[in-house]
Each structure stands twice: as structure tokens, then as C-alpha cells.
Structure 1
Amino acid sequence: MDDVRKQLRDAAAEHRPDRERMLARVERGMERDAVDQLGAASRGRPRRPAPWLRIAGATAAVAGVFALGGYAVASLVQGEDPPPSTVGTPAAPDSPAGPSPSASTPDDENAGPSAPAEPAQPSGKATKGTPGKDAAPDTKRPPKKSDPPPSTRRLAPDAKSVEDGYLWSDGSVDPQSNDFWAQSTLTFKTGEPLTALSVELRVAQTGGVADTGNWRSLPADDFTVSVREEGDELVYRWTLKAGRTVPEGEHVFAGQYNHAEGGRDAGEDTYAAEATASGRKAAVRGDFARTS
């Protein structure tokens, strides 16, 4: 294959077309056409197409043959296939149905660039400013003015005694308290099992009072416990969980806290409790002895 390409390359390089010979043949053909035209005119026959048209066509054909031949030789020498030829086709006439959707009209040209289409809204979602078909209604309501939640309501506000029916109570400061720390102890006695019980201890803020812990003699899992600051008081609260009971007997609740250095006066501290036994309610309230 390499020898064939080399021979073709050499032949193409040495080839020189004989232009004089080709022009001479064209001139002889033109002379024959002139004679034929004159003879046809003398005999009344229709004239054939002008000889120059035929000559131009013949010349173009010869040039095309040489061009294609040279291109084919070059392709073979270079070892490449000629690219596929394309044939131009005239544009189709306009359809009577009007321009295609992609064609531009004068109105489109004067209208400027079209605005991008808005994205479709997901189904079930509300558009801006308009509630959606499946959108959930707004269930928010302004808070109603009502009594404070039970967790912040003072227990037994109307109780005036440390004893009420089956419930008895007492409040004291643990003797182990010192100049920096103290424990307030609440003792309750009940003559009946309790199905509900809430106990509250309020320690006045006398300076540096801060929670350090709390405990109860009853099971810890039976109660929910909260410690919070409310005004000038540190408030402990124990609440018996639903379905739990407190057996009859004596029970202790205690709150522990730090305070400013020195002896602390517990005279402003208070406690309270509310209980239920056999459907009967009881409420007690008390305070602590003032330090002299």
C-alpha cells in the first residue's frame, strides 16, 4: 500500500495538463457548431442552443473532472477519505398555515426580549399572598388572659393554719445549716392515703440565695420537681404524679441553698401544701421561726 501511495504521489507531482491541446479541441468544436448553425438556418430548422452555452458547460465539466481527479489522487496519497459532499437545497416556500412557532414575526421583533416564564407552583402549596387549596388553616390564636399556670400559682393562698383535717405540717431550718449554706425542712403527717399532693417552699432572697439541691422521703419517681426564681423568692415545688398515692404517715420534703456569708434569718420564708384523700381536699400553710 505504501508503494502505491508513493507512485500516485510522484505521478501527481509530475502531471502537467496540456492546456494548448485542450483549447485547440474547444476551438474546433466551436467552429463546427458555427457551421452547423449556419446550415440549419439556411434549411429553416430550429436553432440549437447558443454555442457559447455548450462551450461553457463543456469547459466547466472538464475543469470539474480535473479537480475531482486531483482531489482523489491527493486523498489516496494522504490516506484520508474525502469528506461527504453536501447538496444545497432551496428553501421551502412559506406554508399557507402561517409561520412556524419558532419563526419571529414583526411584532416579536419590536417587542424586545421575552420575559422568562414563571416556575410552576407545587400542588398543594400556597402562592404568595394566596392560601393554597390544601394549606392547613392557621390555628394560632392570641393567648387568652386567664389564671397563671398551676406551676406558678401560689399553693393554698387562703389557708391560714398548719393543720387541716387529716393533714398536719411543720417548717424548720435544719440544724446542720451554716454561715454559707442552709436547708429548709418541711414535715407532713397524713391520717389517710393521699391521691393528690402538691408541696411548695418559698425562700426569701436575703442575699446570695441560690439553689443547691432538694430531696423528699417519698419515691423520687412519684413526683415532678421544679425550682425557679420568682420575684424575690426561690421557689421549690413537688407535685404527685397522676395515678400515684402517698401512704398515711409522716413524710419529709427539703430544699437546699447557698446564701450570703453569716447567719441567715428565715423569718420571711413560707411553705404551703394542698392534698386530696377520699375525695376530700385539705390545705395548709406555715412559716419558719425568725432568727433573733
Structure 2
Amino acid sequence: MDDTRLRHELREAALAHRPDRARILARVERGLAAPAPAAPPPRPAAGWTGRRWAAVAAVTAAVAGAVGLAGVMTTAPTDRGTAPATSTATAPALPAPGPAAGAVGTINPGSNRWWAQSDLGVTTGSPVTGLVVELRIARTAGVVGTGHWRTRPAGDFTATVTEEPGSLVYRWTLKEGRTLPPGPHVFAAQYNHAEGVRDASSDTYRVTLTAPDGGLTTLRGGFGTPPPK
């Protein structure tokens, strides 16, 4: 059977069909009289389980917290001056100033062609609780120590004379617990030497003074050459 004939017969059958209206109405009435079936519970969207909803809530809270923090940071008042950083490091303490003092080395006018005395005048402007006076007499020809003295009481000092390869060293050290008062003080070294005018240009002195608060002062110098007699 070709397609044209098939379509013709189907049309004829459709025109000849007469629906049973009474039967259709009866089925509709039975359907209306029957109770409606319970609606199935709604199904959640595929894949969105309780865990995923919890994760979403956590992420939302975190984002909200970040946004809130950013808001606080960006909306904080900016008209205040930034306080300067305070350093906790402690600057090293400066040393205490030493005693005000001066020193002058001279050859005593009573010196002669065989013997000499080197005088060191020390002047202090305040009490001194520590003192070391050192005279170095160069070992020129014939130099031999003959004595020493000072204007302060002998009991206040420890005095020594030491022979070194190049010098004869006279040293006075103020004893612990003693105090050198303000004023002029003299420390003298005596020695023999070869006949003639001795060259004292290589003789030196060094004085170290300590104040009651620990401040130090150091004085250095020489004696020069005495005028010929």
C-alpha cells in the first residue's frame, strides 16, 4: 500500500469515528469522586546536602567577618596623628666626667751637674678618691735613683721605684679609702746622673685621677731640658 492510499484510509476512519460521550462522562465523574492522592514531599535540589548547606553557611560567615573587619579598618578615623614608635632599647650611659685637674713637670732649680730632682706639680679642683702618679726618668748615662717625696702624708700613698730597661719609674698610688683634697700637690723624683747638664727631654709623667662618682681624668706630659748652670 502506498503512502497516498494510507493517508486516505486514515482520514476516512477518523471521519467515521463517533466517540462514546456517555462513557467518557462516567469516567470523569468517577475521577472527581475519588480522593486526591497525597502530594509527594518536595525533593531538595540535587547535590545540596546538609553538609553542603553547612559549608555554605560557614563560608558566608567567614566572608561576612572579613567584610566586617575590612569595614572597620577602612572606616577608622584617619584624622589622628600616628603615635611615634617608642624604642625600648636603653642608650648606653655616658661616662661620668673626671676630676678637674692640671699637671706641670719641671726640673727643680736645686739640681746640679751630678744630681737632679724632677718635680711634678698636680693641682686638683675637687676631692679625688683615686690617684696614680707615674714619673719615668730616662736611663741616660749614670742615672741612679736616690730618693723621692711628696707634699701629702706618706701614709696616704704606696710608693715604688722600679728599674726598667729604658726608664727609672717612680710611682705613687693613693691608698684605698684615702682622699686627696683640692689644691696644689707636688711629687718629686731624685736621682744621680753623669757629670754635666742632663737632657731631660725623654722624661715623662702620667697622672690618673678618679672622682668619687667614678669619673676618670688622665694627664700626660714631659719635663724638657733644664737650663745650663
Identity of counterpart residues, as a percentage?
53
Q: What residue in structure 2 maps to residue 287 of structure 1?
A: 222
Q: What residue in structure 2 maps to residue 177 of structure 1?
A: 111
**What's the TM-score once normalised by structure 2's chain length?**
0.55
Say whether the 8 Å CA contact 1:267–1:291 is kept in structure 2: no
Q: What residue in structure 2 maps to residue 202 of structure 1?
A: 136
Q: What residue in structure 1 maps to residue 43 of structure 2?
A: none
Q: What residue in structure 2 maps to residue 241 of structure 1?
A: 175
Structure 1 segments of 4 or more deviating over 2 A?
A: none
Q: Which of the pair has the greater relative contact order for Cα pairs under 8 Å at 6+ separation?
A: 2
Spell out the pairing of 1:135-146 with structure 2 (5 A cutoff).
none
- Structure 1 residue 167: Cα displacement: 1.0
Matches of 1:228 and 1:278, distance apart in 2: 29
AA in 2 matched with 1:249: G
Q: What residue in structure 1 maps to residue 158 of structure 2?
A: 224
Matches of 2:220 and 2:162, distance apart in 1: 20
Q: Which structure 1 segments of 5+ residues have no match?
A: 1-163
Matches of 1:182 and 1:291, distance apart in 2: 10
Q: Secondary structure at the match of 1:221?
A: helix
- CA spacing shift, 1:221–1:165, aligned 2, 3 Å: closer
Measured against aligned partners, the alpha-carbon deviations of 1:37-94 in whole angstroms (never above 9, x if no partner) come to xxxxxxxxxxxxxxxxxxxxxxxxxxxxxxxxxxxxxxxxxxxxxxxxxxxxxxxxxx
Spell out the pairing of 1:120-139 with structure 2 (5 A cutoff).
none
Spell out the pairing of 1:1-292 with structure 2 (5 A cutoff).
166-279=100-213, 280-291=215-226
Matches of 1:237 and 1:226, distance apart in 2: 5
- Structure 1 residue 288: Cα displacement: 1.1
Matches of 2:223 and 2:102, distance apart in 1: 15
- Structure 1 residue 165: Cα displacement: 5.5
Say whether the 8 Å CA contact 2:134–2:206 is kept in structure 1: yes
**What's the TM-score once normalised by structure 1's chain length?**
0.43
